Amino acid sequence: MENNNIVQSKKYYLFTDSTDCILTVNKDYMLDTHCHIFDPPLFDNLTNELNLAKKAGLTGIISVSTRINPAKQYIQYHQDVVNILPDSRFALGLHPWFIKEKSPDWLTELENSLDLFQGIGEIGLDRSQRAPDIQIQIEHFQQQLELAVKYDKPAFLHVIRAHNLVLEYLKKMPKARGVIHAFSGSPADARSYTAKGWLLGVGGGITRKNAHRLRRIFKKIPLEHIVLETDSPYMGLQSVDPGQSTPANLELVAKKLAELKNCSLAKIIAITTENANKIFK
């Protein structure tokens, strides 16, 4: 349904739905809900990357971490990020791939640092070959998700071929909220997550020529459940190699989604950013 009325001025979008009620009035803003700005090569050119992102229309990024340390130390640079992209947040967590690298008191360290961070992630379950034993992953996932609930913070989940397991835990923890980053599950998985209020992240994958399945799935997911991400520098796009992407590439993801949904870029930006902002209370 595309009878929405969008009035676009130079910097501001006035977005109204078909009943003519104003959903949001905001400036040209996009939010990258998943990137690793403190990893190389992005961190090596931090100021430059942030300025490029700002120029591309971003007002915020959500930096996620993969280990408690050194991520904890990068909190000192988070203010530099906020100075350029004021809607930015920082999530702390232990990624399943890096469980072996944890320190003995990692969980206490995570809990004690949480007042400085706005989310927990990235955490999750992964059944690919690269990941450690699933039972070990479950233990770490559950402990971190419990902290997210206890401290009322959104979680950013990495889920590879483990949607059934993750959904089982989310059922037990109805108060948990957040984003399934780079969602690649089935339409049924998508429905189960969104019924629980979870958001589904879409990244550069949808721009790839042969990503027909992913595009088919995201075409059907209502926009109210979608957020944009780059997973930079790791996730590639059709025109950018994996390892080389930047938050500024979010524009290409938004444009592709607009094409897929057959709606305006302004609508994509307004709704996905609102979705992301709602998970930070």
Residues lying near Zn ion in the complex (CB under 5 A) are found at 231
Cβ distance to Zn ion smaller for residue 32 or 231: 231
Helix spans in the chain (H): 46-55, 75-84, 106-113, 134-150, 163-172, 187-195, 212-220, 250-261, 265-278
DSSP character string of 109-137: HHHHHGGG-SEEEEEEEE-STTS--HHHH
Position 131, amino acid = A
Cβ distance to Zn ion smaller for residue 179 or 265: 179
The residue number whose beta carbon is nearest to Zn ion equals 231
Least CB distance to Zn ion at residue 97 (A): 10
Instruction: From 257, 197, 223, 272, select the one nearest 32 (Cα to Cα).
Output: 272
Cβ distance to Zn ion smaller for residue 49 or 231: 231
Q: Please state whether beta strands 12-16 and 5-8 pair in parallel, antiparallel, or not at all (unpaired).
A: antiparallel
Cβ distance to Zn ion smaller for residue 126 or 251: 126
Joined together, the tokens standing for residue 277 give 């902002």
Cβ distance to Zn ion smaller for residue 231 or 274: 231
Least CB distance to Zn ion at residue 36 (A): 6
Q: Which residues contact 30 (CB under 8 A, 6 or more apart)?
A: 56, 57, 58, 59, 228, 250, 251, 254, 269, 272, 273
Least CB distance to Zn ion at residue 4 (A): 32
Least CB distance to Zn ion at residue 28 (A): 26
Cβ distance to Zn ion smaller for residue 6 or 43: 43
Cβ distance to Zn ion smaller for residue 32 or 251: 32
What are the C-alpha distances in Å from 158 to residues 149, 162, 163, 185? 17, 10, 10, 11
Least CB distance to Zn ion at residue 130 (A): 13
How remote is the C-alpha of 175 from its chain's centroid?
A: 19
Least CB distance to Zn ion at residue 208 (A): 17
Least CB distance to Zn ion at residue 281 (A): 23
Cα first-last separation, the chain: 30
How far is residue 229's CA from residue 33's CA, in Å, rounded to a whole number? 5
How far is residue 176's CA from residue 170's CA, in Å, rounded to a whole number? 7
